[in-house]
Structure 1
Amino acid sequence: MKQTDVGTSDVQPPEITGHDTRTDMLRRAVRKTVPLRKAFVQAPRGSAVRHGPLKTFANNGDVRGLRAYLMTVAACSKDNEDGWTTTLDSAVWARMFDTHLGANPQSARTAAWRTLRRLEERKLLTCRRPRGSSMISATLLREDGGGTPYTRPDGRSLEDRFVSLPIAFWKRGFDEKVDAPALAMLLAVAQDKPWSRFPADKAPEWYGWSPDTTQRGLQKLLSLGLVERKEAYDKAPLSPTGFTLVYEYRLIRWMRASRGKNPSVGAA
């Protein structure tokens, strides 16, 4: 009888991508949308300074850090055994943040840890890695960057209003296609009412980043099909035409969460 040598199988283990890791993490979190307080983008009206923590990511071109932060928020659920904390091997964090691309395993792990430490320095989370262990724990803090403990936003107060990003944003891979200006403007459009204007010259005052960041971000979002735009006109009696053309924006339909719903944290 012919014998088969099972020790020389040509079967290879699957290649697990960052997209695979993020998708499985979202599945584990059991949620349909990811809530984020508007204070991360912009402080409430009446505040001495309107800028939120988002401005640092936009001004530094830190798309890796911003993607990592949003994914960490998405990963953390109250249903986790340790509350608003996610604990993973550093290799999993590396894949989730795409620090493994073009890097050896140790460099990827180190880059993932440094990314989390950068978010900790901005008082958006705390992270812990026990000595001699490859496990890293990240615990959310409140999105305003004040360093206070995280609570689920419910929208009942001005400081507690939030935006909801659909998990389809990650599942469809759009998180991999945006740059820092586009992701910053995506959150700016999401936190405003539909068909809002985003005059570039107001960006330094409203958000803390440059007019160029606003323009480049909106153009990128339009090219990706994540926002839609319509024309509007303002009276300008002293101009040759008597009016000026302006643009108003809103998220594309599938990116807009249903009004009046609480964030789907740990919900089926």
Structure 2
Amino acid sequence: MKTTAKAEQDMQKDEASGRDTRAAILTRAIRANVPLRKTFVQANKGAETRPGPLRDFVTGRDLRGLRAYLMIVAACSSGDKGWTTKHDSAVWARLMDIDKTASDQSARTGAWRALRRLEARNLIECSRKGTAIKVMLLREDGTGKAYDRPKGDNEENRFLQIPTTFWTQGRDEKLSLPGLALFLVVAREKHWATFPAEWAPQWYGWSPDTHERGLKQLVELEFVQTRAFKKKAPLAPLGFTIAHQYQRALITRPRKPQKKPAVLPTPG
């Protein structure tokens, strides 16, 4: 029996994990960073309401859907296959780590349901044939418009970047839903920005408590850095209050593209 148990363990070592699957998708995409329009997190100034599609993931407690969506953006936004990606439903389930806690058929069903939720939010279009599921990326703002790669040339095309190491080194697996949401919030802004919790409902569409829990987790995991500063407050006893600024730590910032080696002239 001991021999059988060891053999089973050895076989499991040869099975791809969710992280392996995510890494394979990113390797195929051939990129160091994944672009994501900032309007996914928050609408531009002047909009009737500021919260972006990210709000619905947070208020709907859909961590699985949010993680899946970010991987779809990573897989499709290279444009090699017309902003689409296609996998067997079992691969989709493993991509979302559903296979860890469900039988094969239940995991396949769970993956399809998660993708259908993304479709209902006008972020993707999906179809299936047999066990294969094909997904086409739509614009990140939830308008249902066709996707195009953001170039940063105007307000609607401003984008943040997520390094592929965020997935390949398993950092995404450590974050709760508030943590992942706040990671995107911090990534959206410049270095050393403030994120007051009291403005969270109006700016992002979730509670101050959710906002604070997300920032706290990011700091504890050392995914972001924080520093305190004095803020003038004429009605406070000391004439100031203490506020905090945040920025991404080096390990979660976009990676700089490697320079190609210079081609030396052929002698002779």
**Do the structures match in fold with TM over 0.5?**
yes
Task: Tell me the secondary structure at the aligned position of residue 69 of structure 1.
Answer: helix
2:109 counterpart SS class: helix
Q: 2:229 aligned to 227, 232, 248, which one?
A: 232
2:135, 2:214 → 1: CA distance?
29
Aligned to 2:118: 119
Q: 1:188 aligns with which of 185, 188, 191?
A: 185
Match of 1:108 in 2: 107
Deviation at 1:253, TM superposition (A): 1.6
In 2, the alpha carbon distance for the partners of 1:171 and 1:225 equals 17
1:40 aligns with 2:37: no
**Residue in 2 aligned with 1:7?**
none
Deviations 1:85-132 (CA, angstroms, capped at 9, x unpaired)? 0001111111001111121101011100111000000000000002xx
Partner of 1:166: 163
CA contact (8 A) 1:19 1:171 kept: yes
CA distance in 1, matches of 2:180, 2:144: 23
Shifted more, 93-102 versus 249-258: the winner is 249-258
Partner residue, 2:91: 92
Task: Tell me the TM-score normalized by structure 1.
Answer: 0.89
Q: Which residue of 1 aligns with 2:207?
A: 210
Q: Which residue of 1 aligns with 2:22?
A: 22
Whole-angstrom CA distance in 2 between matches of 1:84 and 1:143: 12
Structure 2 CA distance, aligned partners of 1:237 and 1:119? 47
Quickly say closer, same or farther: Cα 1:12–1:254, change in 2 above 3 A.
Answer: closer
Higher RCO (Cα < 8 Å, 6 or more apart): 1
Checking the alignment, whether the CA contact within 8 Å between 2:32 and 2:255 is kept in structure 1 is: no
Aligned partner of 1:4 in structure 2 is none
User: Are 2:201 and 1:200 aligned?
Assistant: no
Deviation of 1:258 (Å): 6.5
For residues 11 and 56 of structure 2, the distance between their equivalents in structure 1, rounded to whole angstroms, comes to 43
Corresponding letter in the other structure for 1:126: E
| Secondary structure in structure 1 of the residue aligned to 2:98 | coil
User: What is the Cα deviation at residue 156 of structure 1?
Assistant: 0.3
SS of residue matched to 2:186: helix
Deviations 1:158-213 (A, max 9, x none): 01100000001001101111011011100000001111111101001101111011
CA distance in 2, matches of 1:196, 1:102: 39
The one-letter amino acid paired with 1:114 is R
Partner of 2:53 in structure 1?
53
Corresponding residue SS for 1:21? helix
For the residues of structure 1 that align with 2:128 and 2:58, how far apart are their CA atoms? 28
Q: Which amino acid aligns with 1:29?
A: A
Give the number of aligned pairs.
248
Which runs of no fewer than 5 residues in structure 2 stay unpaired?
A: 1-6, 258-268
Matched, 1:220 2:214: no
- Segment of structure 1 superposing worse, 31-40 or 246-255: 246-255
Task: After TM superposition, give the deviation of residue 215 of structure 1 in Å.
Answer: 0.2
Cα deviations across residues 25-78 of structure 1 (Å, max 9, x unaligned)? 111111100000000000001111111000011112211110000011111144
Identity fraction in percent:
51
Alpha-carbon distance between aligned partners in 1 of 2:234 and 2:154, rounded to the nearest angstrom: 41
Which TM-score applies when normalising by structure 2? 0.89
Superposed structure 1 runs of 4+ greater than 4 Å apart: none
CA-CA distance at 1:254 after TM superposition? 3.0
Give the secondary structure class of the aligned counterpart of 2:146.
coil
